[in-house]
Amino acid sequence: IAIELAGSRMKEGELTCSERLKVVDGLSLIPQCGILHNDIRNGNILVWHSGNEFQIYFIDFERSRYTSDEAELTKEMTKLKRLLRLPLDSHDNK
């Protein structure tokens, strides 16, 4: 249902560098709430393109949990950057 409503599964090879950085920005919002998604993979990131608009949606929070462990949160961000084929120091989280 989510794919039908929100977009298609992310294919990192089809995203521009700017779009990849927007995905990183999107994930960086989740730990600000103290949440570890805990299942970062292409199938759990939906992308939607319409003209110049680009939106992302993170889905499947079944494995997510609250945490204040910065090492876990950093590890998840590193995993996303590797998935997106971005250099690990390519983007400072705000």
pLDDT recorded at residue 93 = 44
pLDDT recorded at residue 32 = 87
Q: Is the pLDDT of residue 84 over 50?
A: yes
Counting residues of the chain whose pLDDT is more than 70, the rounded percentage is: 89
CA torsion sign for 32, 77, 60, 38 is negative
Q: Which residue has the higher pLDDT, 66 or 32?
A: 66
* Cβ–Cβ < 8 Å for 88, 78: yes
- Average pLDDT on 4-17 reads 83
pTM of the model: 0.82
